[in-house]
Amino acid sequence: MKIIEIKTLGIDAIKVITYARFRDARGYFTEHYRRSDFRNNPGMGFMDGVEFVQCNESYSRKGTLRGLHFQWNPYMGKLVRTVKGRMLDIVLDIRKGSTTFGRALLHEMAGDPASETDEWIWVPPGFAHGNVFPEDSVIEYLCSGEYSQGCEAGISPYAEDIDWTLCAPALKGLFDSMASATGLVTEKDRNGFTLKKWLSDERSNHFSLQSLA
């Protein structure tokens, strides 16, 4: 695996890892994950101790909105990439005591076979995660915890108390237009918690900075 760049988005814990593809007349080949490269790269210290135990794939039709999901017992960090199509990845800080609590990020990720590179986004425990899809798309994500039914919840992507000011205006505009028009969102996601209601739920204590340390 050839890691080209590791960059931090608007919240320090959220990282984007860009890696190379090796192209010729036939197409391309890439190693999109190699454990030793993640462990030995000097810029990847934020992944120390992370072991992936589950790998998920999701197909979403154009206009689909998913999230914003999170889990405890066990916690689940996600390493996410777009295999095909185009995704706006949504990340929301739900760490109680964090200076960026309640602030959201949007990051656009396209699965373009003509590109010389591809990328992962790392969403660690302590963040709610979701996606919206401007076109039919397939995504893959490696998980640091196995799915645990009954130990999950979600913040509604429509919650009025989410702070979107870290997002690029063009991406926020695209999100708003899609979220307001789509019928491809579950009622569970649409009717998820607001931040205020989640903070009043005792389960939110699983996501204090002390609990996550």
Question: Residues with catalytic annotation?
Answer: 69, 141
Considering only CA atoms, which of 110, 91, 109, 90 is closest in space to residue 101?
Answer: 91
Q: How many C-beta atoms surround the C-beta of residue 35 within 10 A? A: 12
Q: Sign of the CA dihedral 95, 96, 99, 101?
A: positive
Question: 36 is written with which tokens?
Answer: 């030793």
Sorted by sequence, the CB contacts under 8 Å of residue 12 that are 6+ apart come out as none
Sorted by sequence, the CB contacts under 8 Å of residue 34 that are 6+ apart come out as 1
Cis peptide leading into residue 125 (ω within 30°)? no
Grouping H, G, I as helix, E, B as strand and the rest as coil, residue 36 is helix
